[in-house]
Structure 1
Amino acid sequence: MPHRTKAARPAIRRTVLALACASLASAAWSQEDTSQPAVQKIEVTGSRIKRIDAEGTSPVTVLRRESIQQTGATTISEALATLTSSNADLDDLGGSNSFAAGASSASMRGLGKQSTLVLLNGRRISAFPLADYQEVFSNLDTLPLDAVDRIEVLKSGGSSIYGSDAVAGVINIITRSSYQGLQARVTAQQSANNGEFQSQSAALTGGFGDMANDGYNVLANVEFYHRDSFFWQDLLGDVNPKYRRYSPSLGAPSTYSYPGNVNFQAVPGCTNVNDAGQCLYDRATRFEVIPPTERTNMLVSGHMRLGEDMTGFAELLYSRIEAAYNNPYALYGGGPNVDAGPTVWGNPTTGDSKTFYYRMLPVGHPLNPTDEEAEFQYRFVDAPSDRRTTTDQYRFLAGVQGVWSTFDWEVAGGVMGGRTKDVNRGTLSDSGFKAMIGDYKNGVDPVDADFFNKPNGYRIGQKNSKAVLDTLFPSFGFTGETTQTFLDGKVSGDIAKWAAGNVGLATGFDLRHEKMKITPDERLATGDIVGYGVSSSDASRTFGALFAEVSLPIFKTLEAQVAGRIDHFPGFPTHFSPKLGMRFQPIPELLFRGTFEGGFRAPNLTESAKSTKFAFAPGISDPQRCDQAGALADDLAAAALALPADDPLRAVYLARADAVQQNECGTSIPEITANNPKLKPETSKSFTLGLGFQPIRHWSGTVDYWRIYRKDEIGLRSIQEMLSAEASQPAGTINRAPLASDADRALDPTFQLNGLNGANEFTTYGVTAGAITSVHDMFLNLLRTKTSGLDLSVKGEIPTPAGPLSLDVDTTYTIDYRNWSTTRDGWGDNLAGRYGTPRWVVNVTTGMKTGDFGHSLRYVWNSSTSLQSDFDDEEWTIEGCADARVPIPASDCKVRDYHRWDYSIAYSGIKDFVIGLNVRNLFNQRPPADLRALNFSTIPPDAEDVQGRMLKLSLQYKFM
């Protein structure tokens, strides 16, 4: 080491002290804790201009590798869930109910997965090949966690720098660089309460080459993740007792069973018969708590010196995900006392509505000993019922970067994309049902004598061949493919020297061509799968952008950031996204900052280009038929109650009353949605104002106010509102069947009510319009959202005899969150504090390093919310709770505060080994009951309710 003279030491100390203060200030303002002084210019998310001080005008949170490991996160999505500004949108745990199974998305500020931009090393990653209905998003599950160095989160809009989709913020996942060595890491996790919730991961990371000495560096990482499946059957005993109180049928067996019930008596061969002689089925054996998955993620990146001022680089990201969902077996129920109503869906090829009717067993059937049709309840436990998705995604890029004069420059190009194969089984085929069981006719005419007893057809409760089951329950699904090629470039550097400092400039371009094709198989495309909708797309486009950013030092203490980006998408006017940011630091211990930015989201290919969606809108009330149906249902109920309790017609009348009411006042309507080439981009305005402070050494904090207003949101009109104004809708928008074919007029010919029979019953109550068969619509720029709040961060450390104790507080307070209502023609209620939007989200983390041990204790708190959503949600108000089927008092008509403590410990006393233990939910606290999610269901709504204390063990070994 060079000898330092005594005279040089004061200057050295002053330099070191200055660098240390600059580093601490930077850590304070950017919410990043680092022990190394910033000594070179770096590019921080939210700006293209490199600078020594990592902090710019925008609030940026940094999650470093060590802090991510302390949270116990095993995946990128779990790591992002620790952010107070993040909220759940889509994850692969519940993907079976989405159009995009097997994927996880990011969302910030409650603005959705299409308004949060995800980057890997500053560039976009491929979209998931299947849209979630019309939403196109980045799949977080394709990203390897072990390769991550840090995650930078820009908590304000970023469209002026990064373009479309950055309305709510930007998540930039940055991988390790210049890594040398070989390291292996394995983890295993499970619940300490019940041994379930098991997952394992393994990662191998290697790097070789030194840029300074060898002129190159290569990083390679491969990561495997496995998660086990299990069902509710084994965990119902652990469920919150409050759930049983408000849903007495929770966990109860079902009379939809195997080999079934005929006239509510067990079919011979049933092994679980109750005292009433009914065959029962334990449905919890087939309700999955956690679905299984297998993931393989790989990242290879490298840099090579090509000259004194030039470096080449390349990067390959590849992921393969196999996700599985084991679904409940298909049900069948026919008869007036059986609650399996008709299923309405449609043929996407013709646009026609279709209705499947559950019919009874005919006279003469081997299982029907009576002289009239017999009611029947059944579960197809011999048929497959699952969903499998296999996804391959990739990104390859290569480029050159260098220095020219005082400017840094970079050019890169590449290709990214993916393919998803989504295969489903376990839903009836319309044609297969008719071939293997029989024609359900129009729901009225008598079924054929061989219904459910066809030669070579399906046999109830008996062994059926694979050919029969495959015909009745064929495989069906989608194939999604997406590709995007790109070329981008940028240059940045100082362009002028002012008295207050250097003027920085960054400018560049971005050119892209994208394709997206979502193809349903033939059975879905022709409407052969009972009750299933369709999403399809086949489109491409080329688009590009130019951007520029200037850093202006107005005074030594005042700096401005001015940025703008011009994006051009075919079919839309060129869009300009501006940004103005200010940074004022009058003294080293105090910083003021603020931004104003315009953002946008361009319509994606499923919204604006050629595509079709065929789905179902549930719970629709028909204004032209509901009141009349209610009057008929009231008369039916009154007639039933006038009969003796043991009269069999009493149950028939009551079942009929329920069916009439449901069919007209709460039915599912086929909804056919087309793309709209005339869509405009969604636009937004975001504003932030904050301050950073360092009152004493080793303590710092930030407070930032944020506000986002988004308009021209792409969505669909409310079907209920369209029906209310049916006369003003264009022809072909709302389609109805002829009144003469109305199934609600058909009753048992012997049925008499007030002198009316089945031939004229419903029209006598004033019905003049046929039943709705379908509603046709297209995507429109309809909606708006506005939200605002405060982010608070405090960081510091306290010296103790055992070592410094660190403290990190991260808090988000939502002031308001409002959606535009076309019904009100104004804003809805403030949803902050309402269901799903807690006002307060707080994370507090403490850490201490003592010798070979590192400790971390984390506290998570979410404030309580009501069960009500917006103003039109009357069911979950205090009054609605009190009027529920099982009345809910005001004290339980809310989701109470959420509290959780997590602890982690790491031991590094063995050479090259690090052993870690993370305990999630240290004190085994049960999360608050969510009665809205329960909604009187037979299955608990929340896996975390039975998860309890979670243990995660990790072993890390560095070979070299």
Structure 2
Amino acid sequence: MSIRPPLLATALALAVSNAWSDNLAAEAEAVLPVVVITASGAAIDIKDAPASISVITREEIERQPVYDLNTLLRRIPGVTGGTSPVGEQSKIKLRGLPEKYTLILVDGKRVGSSSDTAYRPDLGRQDLNWIAPEMIERIEVVRGPMSSLYGSDAMGGVINIITRKVPGTWHGSATANYTRPQDSGRGDANQLGLNVAGPLSDTLGMRFGLSQSKQNADEAVRANAGGIGGERNRTATGQLAWKLGSRQSLTFDASYGRQEATPSSTLKPNGTPLFSAWGASELIRKSASIGYEGRFVVGTAKFTLYHNDFDNRFAGTTARAKDTTLDATLEKRLGWGVEQLLVMGAQWKDQELTNTDTIGTVPTDYQGNRVQGATLSGTTSALFAEDQLFLRENLSATVGLRLDHHSKFGNHYSPRLYLVYHPAPEWTVRGGISQGFRAPSLKENSPSAATNSGGNGCRSLVPLGYITGGCYMAGNADLKPETSTAGELGVAYERNGWDVGVTWFRNDFKNKIDYAPLGFFQNLWWTRLTNIQKARTSGLEATATVPLTKDLNWRNNVTYMKEAKNLTTGANLLATPRLSWYSALGWQVTDALFGEISAQYTGRELDAGPLYRAYTMVDTVVSYKVTPRWTVRGGVENVLRKGPVADTGRETYYVPGRRMFAGLTTRF
């Protein structure tokens, strides 16, 4: 495998940084306590967390190139998707629900959504990769509704990306990765990342990170294999941390990201690219926040004000989404009869969406009202409280309630009750019931938001007389929020390196939002979003870590989806496999050398839709610490060159073939 000039330049830069850093005093990295902060209103031991939660550690992130976080997330039980870099198959779904039901956070702050800035939301990318992998300390994934804490958009679960903290002395790291496909017609990929953090004074510290990942477009492929265009992601993130004495602190964060999609340079005979760009040709995200934390007798108070701005630039269209959010919480330990941890909070959020391609694009809506402008806006506010009651040394109960108020659809309550019981130190039994909800988006809630369909979105109009051509797919001002009632029950055993668990879950929905035929109005054919459907998802999640020897571990995560079905129409909610299984054998050969071979099995899809043959993708990775400051790694992805193939023998969506990668990381 040839070494490209950018990688050589990066290696030289890393070597220089390592040379001057050798003069710095070595200091061991701080070890974080085994706590999670996403499953409840306060930090808690993961064994006592009132939810189904998994954690991806910094060590796992460093072992392989992370061009997309979905390559890591798809290994978690209850998670499907992430099997392709493009299309709906690229998007992470939790427990059989589409990606719009998953709330994505960075350090507890919503990253916002870029989906409605695209002409079609399914053409946009999931908003997972706006933070440099080099900046990430860990990723916490909660499966199941968390609306009692987070409100709308958390019906399926929450992905919280936790960034690395500012240390007491200057530290940094830099990473370079290069991936090359075995097939010469496939595009190669490279990744660069830098993270530097440390004190500016006794009270002020800073952190700064840069990242770039680039996937070159495919230029030629073997028959029936499909191909993709290219993509480049660039991010810059900074933070100032200011201590206001021993009990108070301020943090200032800012970030800038740019995603660009590029087509193949190889042209077809008609002059069009062999593989066109998928997603936004240029999507820019800017964010800024200020956070305050103070510890007082009355409790620990936190305030965060943050703003997200997405700007999607394509074909002369103005497409922009902005949101501003204020979060406030108060955490207090109480002793009213039993020990309690009470968290109370409030949230205010203002949103604005402009899209001259899909909003206000017809003279009148289907009701004949004159359409004015291409901008929509809305405001929401919420109050919530969660109380963790430690009823006994081995038994805790979590009770939560959230009230959300929307400027258009009014009030909505989301309660939650969860129990965690340890019948013995190594055993954990957990379960609970909760209600979730998802408010209609600005676009879904507006009749003037009408996307023109070329025909695929119009088939339901055939019984009304529609023959051919386009139709308008409109929003609806009378929509109600989607609601759900979810339950889960799980048991886990952990001792001497063994970690085994199984969880059953079920989620019943009502007022599901989907398009329904409306008819012929204002000389146009219309379909409209309507609350007409019920849906249900259910299944099992299982994990098993087996210590074969002191240094050899076998990890397994299994997801079995019994159903993910629209109960009104009988159709599946999305293309999801009935059975998924991730299995990895990791060997810590020496203190410096680690090797792993992993396999990901994807079974046939649920009842309806294309029946892909089941397939298994095998990856290998080796990581070696040359010195305490230098780590090199390499491996092979998709060793067996497997992917989803329909019964016709044709691959129906893109999955990379066999690819080799190499990389290095330096710490200074």
TM-score by length of 2: 0.85
Determine the C-alpha separation between the residues in 1 that align with 2:319 and 2:615.
38
% identical aligned pairs: 21
Q: Is the contact between residue 228 and residue 290 of structure 1 (CA under 8 Å) also seen in structure 2?
A: no
Determine the C-alpha separation between the residues in 2 that align with 1:615 and 1:522.
14
1:783 aligns with 2:533: yes
Task: Give the SS at the match of 2:75.
Answer: coil
Partner deviation per Cα, 1:54-99 (whole Å, 9 max, x = no partner): 631211010112223335432223322333422338986349xxxx
Q: Structure 1 residues 805-814 or 405-414, which shifts more?
A: 405-414
Q: Is the contact between residue 853 and residue 908 of structure 1 (CA under 8 Å) also seen in structure 2?
A: yes
User: Residue 328 of structure 1: CA displacement?
Assistant: 10
Determine the C-alpha separation between the residues in 2 that align with 1:520 and 1:301.
36
Q: Is the contact between residue 644 and residue 653 of structure 2 (CA under 8 Å) also seen in structure 1?
A: no
| Distance change (3 Å), C-alpha of 1:163 and 1:90 | farther
Q: Structure 1 residues 503-512 or 85-94, which shifts more?
A: 85-94
Q: Which residue of 1 aligns with 2:627?
A: 910
1:108 aligns with 2:94: yes
Q: Which residue of 2 aligns with 1:921?
A: 638
Q: Which residue of 2 aligns with 1:470?
A: none
Q: Is the contact between residue 77 and residue 543 of structure 2 (CA under 8 Å) also seen in structure 1?
A: no
Any residues of structure 2 matched to 1:132-281 within 5 Å, and which? 133=120, 139-179=127-167, 180-194=170-184, 196-209=186-199, 214-231=202-219, 234-236=220-222, 239=224
1:860 aligns with 2:600: yes
* Match among 673, 692, 698 for residue 473 of structure 2: 673
Any residues of structure 2 matched to 1:765-804 within 5 Å, and which? 774-800=524-550, 804=551
1:701 aligns with 2:500: yes
Partner deviation per Cα, 1:823-881 (whole Å, 9 max, x = no partner): xxxxx27x59xx93322111111212222211111121122347x616xxxxx7xxxxx
1:495 aligns with 2:212: no
Q: Is the contact between residue 126 and residue 393 of structure 1 (CA under 8 Å) also seen in structure 2?
A: no
Q: Is the contact between residue 538 and residue 611 of structure 1 (CA under 8 Å) also seen in structure 2?
A: no
1:841 aligns with 2:641: no
Q: Which residue of 2 aligns with 1:901?
A: 618
* Match among 362, 384, 394 for residue 286 of structure 2: 394
Q: Is the contact between residue 899 and residue 925 of structure 1 (CA under 8 Å) also seen in structure 2?
A: no
| Distance change (3 Å), C-alpha of 1:312 and 1:198 | same
Q: Which residue of 2 aligns with 1:646?
A: none
Q: Higher helix share goes to which structure?
A: 1
Partner deviation per Cα, 1:527-555 (whole Å, 9 max, x = no partner): xxxxxxxxx95111121111100011222
Task: Give the SS at the match of 1:201.
Answer: strand
Task: Give the SS at the match of 2:581.
Answer: strand
Any residues of structure 2 matched to 1:929-940 within 5 Å, and which? 929-931=645-647, 934=650
Q: Which residue of 2 aligns with 1:5?
A: none
User: Residue 707 of structure 1: CA displacement?
Assistant: 0.8
Unaligned runs of 5+ in 2: 1-29, 364-372
| Distance change (3 Å), C-alpha of 1:702 and 1:37 | farther
User: Residue 478 of structure 1: CA displacement?
Assistant: 2.8
Q: In structure 1, what residue type is equivalent to 2:558?
A: T
Q: Is the contact between residue 178 and residue 189 of structure 2 (CA under 8 Å) also seen in structure 1?
A: yes
1:93 aligns with 2:86: yes
Q: Is the contact between residue 617 and residue 641 of structure 2 (CA under 8 Å) also seen in structure 1?
A: yes
* Match among 631, 646, 653 for residue 942 of structure 1: 653
| Distance change (3 Å), C-alpha of 1:290 and 1:579 | same
User: Residue 138 of structure 1: CA displacement?
Assistant: 5.5
Q: Which residue of 1 aligns with 2:262?
A: 324
Q: In structure 2, what residue type is equivalent to 1:858?
A: S
Q: In structure 2, what residue type is equivalent to 1:613?
A: T
Determine the C-alpha separation between the residues in 1 that align with 2:342 and 2:463.
63
Determine the C-alpha separation between the residues in 2 that align with 1:625 and 1:549.
50
Q: Which residue of 1 aligns with 2:553?
A: 806
Determine the C-alpha separation between the residues in 2 that align with 1:673 and 1:933.
35
Q: Which residue of 2 aligns with 1:381?
A: 271
Determine the C-alpha separation between the residues in 2 that align with 1:605 and 1:524.
16
Determine the C-alpha separation between the residues in 2 that align with 1:328 and 1:710.
47
Determine the C-alpha separation between the residues in 2 that align with 1:503 and 1:90.
43
Q: Is the contact between residue 417 and residue 433 of structure 2 (CA under 8 Å) also seen in structure 1?
A: yes
Q: Which residue of 2 aligns with 1:333?
A: none
Determine the C-alpha separation between the residues in 1 that align with 2:506 and 2:93.
16
Q: In structure 2, what residue type is equivalent to 1:82?
A: R
Determine the C-alpha separation between the residues in 2 that align with 1:537 and 1:523.
5
Q: Is the contact between residue 114 and residue 137 of structure 1 (CA under 8 Å) also seen in structure 2?
A: no
Q: Is the contact between residue 327 and residue 386 of structure 1 (CA under 8 Å) also seen in structure 2?
A: no
Any residues of structure 2 matched to 1:41-120 within 5 Å, and which? 44-52=37-45, 55-70=48-63, 72-88=65-81, 93-94=86-87, 105-120=91-106
Q: Is the contact between residue 130 and residue 480 of structure 1 (CA under 8 Å) also seen in structure 2?
A: yes
TM-score by length of 1: 0.60
Q: Is the contact between residue 173 and residue 195 of structure 2 (CA under 8 Å) also seen in structure 1?
A: yes
Q: In structure 2, what residue type is equivalent to 1:170?
A: V
Q: In structure 2, what residue type is equivalent to 1:957?
A: T
User: Residue 594 of structure 1: CA displacement?
Assistant: 0.6
Bigger radius of gyration: 1
User: Residue 386 of structure 1: CA displacement?
Assistant: 5.9
Q: Higher strand share goes to which structure?
A: 2
Partner deviation per Cα, 1:802-824 (whole Å, 9 max, x = no partner): xx1122211111122221335xx
> Over the residues paired in the alignment, what is the CA RMSD in angstroms?
3.4
Any residues of structure 2 matched to 1:450-461 within 5 Å, and which? none
Q: Is the contact between residue 411 and residue 487 of structure 1 (CA under 8 Å) also seen in structure 2?
A: yes
Q: Is the contact between residue 50 and residue 492 of structure 1 (CA under 8 Å) also seen in structure 2?
A: no
Unaligned runs of 5+ in 1: 1-34, 96-102, 241-287, 331-378, 424-476, 527-535, 627-663, 723-728, 736-773, 823-827, 871-875, 877-893, 935-939
Q: Which residue of 1 aligns with 2:21?
A: none
Q: Which residue of 1 aligns with 2:320?
A: 481
1:315 aligns with 2:253: yes
Determine the C-alpha separation between the residues in 1 that align with 2:47 and 2:427.
15
Determine the C-alpha separation between the residues in 1 that align with 2:267 and 2:46.
60
Q: Is the contact between residue 228 and residue 276 of structure 2 (CA under 8 Å) also seen in structure 1?
A: no
Task: Give the number of aligned pairs.
Answer: 623
Q: Which residue of 2 aligns with 1:122?
A: 108
1:611 aligns with 2:449: yes
Determine the C-alpha separation between the residues in 1 that align with 2:443 and 2:84.
21
User: Residue 304 of structure 1: CA displacement?
Assistant: 1.5
